[in-house]
Structure 1
Amino acid sequence: MKTSIKLLSLLFVLNISACKQTSKKELNINEETETAQSVENEYKIPKSWIETRVANANKRLNATEAGKVLWDAMEAHGGLDKWYGNGYFSLRFNYQPVNGKGIRDSYQTIDTWSNKARHNSITDPTSIFGWDGKESWIKAKDSTSFAYDTAFWALTPLYFSGHPFVLDGEGVNLELLPETVFQEEKQKVIKATYNAGTGSAPDDYYILFINAKTNQVDAIKYIVSYPKYFPEGGHAPEKTTVIQGRTEVDGIVFATGFKTYWSTEKQNELGEYITKIDVSDISFSPTVEEGFFSKPDGAVSLD
């Protein structure tokens, strides 16, 4: 009887382990570099390029008080060198509005150097969409596979899970705001805006609450000004998303979840709770399939 129980327990553990790896296997993301792997499939950013980009960011950011706060946050989250040097970034991002409408759950892989992305549906791994750096594309079984704007969503999860690193780049303007107390913790506060023509929504802004003790991001205020949603200008009301738990993967500290609220007029207070986000299966990989981010045969361009 004891032997049977042990065998059943072992089978249960193996089954759980296999389920956790399913999304990675479906995408054919290699955990190890194989000697037979084509060079074209490898993360090809030269170390010297990463060193130069990090050195330039260090110099630029430490020239201002707001930049110093951001740089310290990047260091506290593992460092910009690891962010760019670890390889392709993958995660499952499950966005769940509390009203049950507009749930978005996908497993995605991102090229952090050039902001390319590819998603696959959790329920139907053959349904995929992505951004290759120039155009958005989708290949889905039918219109129900992704009941949301996939062009907008291709890089959106990166602007949750990728903070503070995603604020490294041209066209980003930083402003140091007064310190505040949020959820009984003293916070350094910086606001990031964008120059005209930067990205697909240059009127967006982010306000980062950075814990004064840990230098890690505790919360982010943001708006959505995506021109397709607001062709006459303007934006959605401000939201505040609060980090829920942390984990370290290959030296980088990530949030394992977020709770999002409508913002209020008071900077350190939260309004109505509107969205739960779970983040899991976080990993970095040195390789992906050749042409992984490019529009595959049978896909439709969204641009």
Structure 2
Amino acid sequence: MKKIILLLIVVIAVSCKNESKKEVKTEVKKVEVQKETFPEELGKVFEAHGGIKEWRKVQVLSFNKEDEVHITDLHSRKIIVKSPKYSLGFDGNEIWSLEEVEGGLKRDPAFYYNLYFYFYAMPFVLADDGITYEKVDDFVFEGVNYPGYKISYKANVGTSPDDNYIVYYNPETFKMEWLAYTVTFKSKAPVDTYKMIRYNSWENVSGFILPKQITWYSKDEKDLYTPTAKIVDFKLPLVSPVKLADSFFEKRVK
């Protein structure tokens, strides 16, 4: 009898062990890895400026232009621009503006609210969704050939999807040096005339190489580019991994 009981105990133990094995399930979690779609050369440009993977970890970008403070949520693209005379921005739903002093705002808010954000966040904004890339001829300036890529947007991307950019970079350092761009906000149609900006001064901001000064250039009758009087200095730059509350970007009426 003892042998029978012992045998039953062994059988039950083995059965329970096998049953336990059946119940053990291994869950394999899939990790979504973002596939980059930009050309390899542009990837080197992003790396030269701090790296696109690191940039995507940043939540907020801020800088000063003259008496304006520009603050942007890099993921939602909510923006606020504040000065003693006016404020404007985008709260995620609509573009808004307020005048602190009558006649202070002399720009169309829909055109201006993110204009300098794009100029300042170069070259990283050229990795946004909805972009197509096209290799273009080099830009030659003072005997130096600058390779370039044309950036265009798919339909209904942004307020001016017909805008085009061409980024030109140093062939040795891969740092961005020139930006050609079109303005279609008013015409709402493609144009062939490009404006030209030279990124002639950069600074290290928390590991990212961001513009300190940009200068507009014009082309003369001999097709030579010369600097204009339009120069913009960027001051008090800040990149932060801390997200701001959505209410920060809302219109505040006193």
Aligned to 1:230: 187
Aligned to 2:114: 155
CA contact (8 A) 2:88 2:97 kept: yes
**What secondary structure is seen at the aligned counterpart in 1 of 2:247?**
coil
2:247 aligned with 1:256: no
CA contact (8 A) 2:163 2:190 kept: no
**What secondary structure is seen at the aligned counterpart in 2 of 1:292?**
helix
Aligned to 1:278: 233
Aligned to 1:117: 79
Aligned to 1:101: none
Flag structure 1 segments of 5+ consecutive residues without an equivalent. Answer: 1-50, 62-66, 95-104, 299-303
TM-fit CA distance, 1:236: 8.4
CA contact (8 A) 1:89 1:109 kept: yes
Cα distance, 1:116–1:170 mapped onto 2, change above 3 Å: same
TM-fit CA distance, 1:289: 5.2
Q: How does 1:216-227 map to 2 (within 5 A)?
A: 216-226=175-185
2:103 aligned with 1:133: no
TM-fit CA distance, 1:275: 1.5
TM-fit CA distance, 1:155: 0.8
Cα distance, 1:167–1:197 mapped onto 2, change above 3 Å: same
Code of the aligned partner of 1:255: P
Aligned to 1:207: 166
CA contact (8 A) 2:73 2:243 kept: no
TM-fit CA distance, 1:235: 4.3
Alpha-carbon distance in 1 for matches of 2:69, 2:250: 17
Code of the aligned partner of 1:257: Q
Aligned to 2:7: none
Code of the aligned partner of 2:230: T
Cα distance, 1:271–1:245 mapped onto 2, change above 3 Å: closer
Aligned length: 223
CA contact (8 A) 1:179 1:189 kept: yes
Alpha-carbon distance in 1 for matches of 2:222, 2:172: 23
**What secondary structure is seen at the aligned counterpart in 1 of 2:248?**
coil
Alpha-carbon distance in 2 for matches of 1:284, 1:166: 14
CA RMSD of aligned residues (A): 2.5
CA contact (8 A) 2:91 2:246 kept: no
**What secondary structure is seen at the aligned counterpart in 2 of 1:81?**
helix
CA contact (8 A) 2:58 2:74 kept: no
TM-fit CA distance, 1:76: 0.8
Cα distance, 1:178–1:131 mapped onto 2, change above 3 Å: same
Aligned to 2:199: 243
Flag structure 2 segments of 5+ consecutive residues without an equivalent. Answer: 1-30
Code of the aligned partner of 1:134: N
Aligned to 1:97: none
2:128 aligned with 1:169: yes
Higher strand proportion: 2
2:70 aligned with 1:108: yes
Aligned to 2:6: none
Alpha-carbon distance in 2 for matches of 1:236, 1:152: 19
**What secondary structure is seen at the aligned counterpart in 1 of 2:106?**
coil
Question: Sequence identity of aligned pairs in percent?
Answer: 25
Answer 1 or 2: higher relative contact order, Cα 8 Å, separation at least 6. 1
1:97-137 Cα offsets, whole Å, 9 max, x none, are xxxxxxxx51110111121110101x44xx32111222101
Cα distance, 1:152–1:180 mapped onto 2, change above 3 Å: closer
Alpha-carbon distance in 1 for matches of 2:191, 2:113: 19
TM-fit CA distance, 1:274: 4.9
Code of the aligned partner of 1:75: E
Instruction: State TM-score, norm by structure 2.
Output: 0.78
TM-fit CA distance, 1:211: 0.6
Alpha-carbon distance in 2 for matches of 1:266, 1:190: 25
Aligned to 2:24: none
Instruction: State TM-score, norm by structure 1.
Output: 0.67
